[in-house]
């Protein structure tokens, strides 16, 4: 649990989520009341590939 929304968002940004491997196209961070305070869509993620 974070002290506030800003701390929670910073922690979420540091986490690695394999969105392709899990078949997820978006993730959401919500507050205790269930309101979305941050989200990340797959299209916003830079995909690194070996060519």
List the pLDDT tens digit at each of the 51 positions of the chain: 789 999 999 999 999 888 888 888 999 999 999 999 999 998 887 665 555
Between CA 5 and CA 35 the distance in angstroms is 11
Cα 41 to Cα 1, 3, 6, 24: the distances in Å are: 23, 25, 19, 9
Q: What per-residue confidence (pLDDT) applies to 42? A: 87
- Give the three-class secondary structure for 41: strand
Q: Cβ distance 37 to 29 under 8 Å?
A: yes
On whether the pTM is more than 0.75, the answer is no
């Amino acid at each position: 649990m974070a002290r506030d929304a800003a701390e929670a968002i910073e922690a979420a940004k540091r986490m690695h989520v394999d969105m392709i491997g899990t078949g997820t196209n978006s993730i959401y961070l919500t507050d205790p009341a269930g309101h979305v305070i941050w989200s990340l869509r797959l299209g916003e993620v830079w995909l690194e590939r070996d060519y």
